[in-house]
Amino acid sequence: MQNLTILGSTGSIGISTLDVVARHPDKYRVVALTANRQVDLLFRQCVQFKPRFAVLLDVVTAAQLRAMLCDAGLKTEVLCGVDALEQVCVLTEVDAVMAAIVGAAGLRPTLAAAKAGKKILLANKETLVMAGHVFMDAVRASGSALLPIDSEHNAIFQALPRGYNGDLKGNGVRRILLTASGGPFRNTPIEALQHVTPDQACAHPNWSMGRKISVDSASMMNKGLEVIEAHWLFNASADDIQVVIHPQSVIHSLVEYVDGSVIAQLGNPDMRTPIAYGLAYPERIDSGVAALDLFKVATLDFAVPDFERFPCLALAYQALRSAGTAPAVLNAANEIAVAAFLDNKISFLSIPAVVEDVLNALPVNSVTCLDDVLEADACARRAAENKISLLIK
């Protein structure tokens, strides 16, 4: 029996994780669930899975959930605040942590889980983007097992040799091919992108995701963050990672070897596949995902990404090559810009403009500890907010 803490249980990854868990009650037990503000959904999850703990960030919503659980006669203990997120990650009884909180908020609890030597199912991009050096050092020091859950990195993990040791050339790997759907605007005239709405940007053609991630997919910042993730997960340089536009989202990523072989992982675009793989690794379990019908798919298309159409992808490569605090600055500026776009304060094309301005304005410092990352993050957020305030005057 594997005991789980699920960070971000009310998000799309958390919901998919619980769906897989529910299919295998003999293998998995939920110890803790956490959410930001979706009280009603978290309550229903508590009723079904009866965790020992439930965590909400807000005092008011935590009190509301506490009352609902009491009325239902459930013994789940409700905790509140950022410290509580870390607390439920390091519990002695917890074997594995699903890190599915979107954004910088997921950094501290995921790092706490790494330091505690937990098995980490990593679905939070920002942990590696912001603090890859600090996080990977913690993983190595504690002996924590790290399993990527993003469909692309999970595919690469499956296509690399078992027990891959971080040496691409030593394992005969020429490069990593990171696939991207291209999002909803891959064929939209560039001049029309100035006028797209948040709802249009969130209408992903293949995946069901939260609004922030959907906007990142539309701008391809999501893929840029994944390039930085791949650097840390697989010890790959920017030149070792090629993004490939693949609209069907059937091939989730590929690994090209020096002998000419290219190994790909294919499947329907459903996050339950990588989640099930991470939960059961090195075994495999039923995920509830329908079998891939190759005859129905019929055609697979590929294209080189256009940096003029997707400047956020180019900015991510720039931040990776700059190293140090640059990826944290990139991520923070993007979070602020995307939030402003979703609030209809700035245009879609203003997102990369804000990110580029902040990335070029702030110095790149070395990262030796988490405080270095958090300071860069805070500075970048202030700079992005100042830039946005000038845009909307």
List, for residues 128-173, the tens digit of each pLDDT value. 998 899 999 999 999 999 999 999 999 999 999 988 999 999 999 9
Residue among 339, 316, 324 at smallest CA distance from 388: 339
Stated pTM of the model? 0.91
Residue type, 45: Q
Q: Which domains does the chain have, with CATH numbers?
A: 2-148 (3.40.50.720), 161-266+292-297 (no CATH), 323-391 (1.10.1740.10)
pLDDT at 207 over 60: no
- Return d(Cα 256, Cα 155) in angstroms, integer: 13
pLDDT of residue 206: 60
Inter-residue contact 38 to 32 (CB < 8 Å): no
> Could you give the C-alpha distances from 78 to 46, 53, 57, 97, 353, in angstroms and in order?
10, 6, 11, 18, 42
Task: Convert the pLDDT of each residue in 98-124 to its tens digit.
Answer: 999 877 788 899 999 999 999 999 998
Inter-residue contact 257 to 161 (CB < 8 Å): no
- DSSP-based helix, strand, coil % in the chain, nearest 5: 50, 15, 35
Mean pLDDT of all residues in 178-206: 84
pLDDT of residue 371: 92
Residue among 292, 335, 342 at smallest CA distance from 312: 335
pLDDT band for position 260 (cuts 50, 70, 90): very high
pLDDT at 184 over 90: no
Q: Express as a percent the part of the chain with pLDDT over 90.
A: 82
pLDDT band for position 209 (cuts 50, 70, 90): low
Number of H-type helices and E-type strands within the chain = 16, 11
Identify the three-state secondary structure at position 174. strand
CA-angle at 367, arms to 366 and 370, nearest 5° = 155
